[in-house]
Amino acid sequence: MKAKVYRPFNAPRSAAGKRVTKTGGFRGSSRERGYDARWDRLSLAFRKKHPFCAWCIQEGRDGLTDLVDHVLPVVDRPELRHEWSNLMGLCRECHGRKTSMEVYARERGELDYLPAWCSEVTNRPPQFVSINPINPEA
């Protein structure tokens, strides 16, 4: 008798590689979401000009910019997609906190506070402030 071989489940090819949103829909590729060659150039130029994470600098750390994020999210303010003043360079850790802060602001109807929250640590809701490793009393 031949031993059974167990193989991991493989998703259908049409769904493979697509990210699923919290609501169960497919998020789509960055190109499908409107991040085109113009965005690529803008993002690269912004990262060259701002190589350090904006939030890490505010909190006294030396984190490098991993990605460029919109202060006011594109889903809420699409007309600001390519506005330099609506961009900030963040490391992955800070980007995760920023994304959580966006969800918090959206749920409370406080999206207009995002620019102030992003520009200064003391303006942020306390759950989005990390402990400063250089000066814990700060």
Spell out the residues 6+ positions from residue 42 whose beta carbon is closer than 8 angstroms to its own.
68, 82, 84, 87
Q: Where are the domains of the chain?
A: 37-128
| 68-113 per-position pLDDT tens digit | 999 999 888 999 999 999 999 999 999 999 999 999 999 999 999 9
Q: Which residue has the higher pLDDT, 47 or 132?
A: 47
User: Cα(70)–Cα(85) distance, rounded to whole angstroms?
Assistant: 9
Indicate the SS3 state at residue 117: helix
Contact assessment for residue 67 and residue 50, using Cβ atoms and an 8 Å cutoff: no
| 46-74 per-position pLDDT tens digit | 999 999 999 999 999 999 999 999 999 98
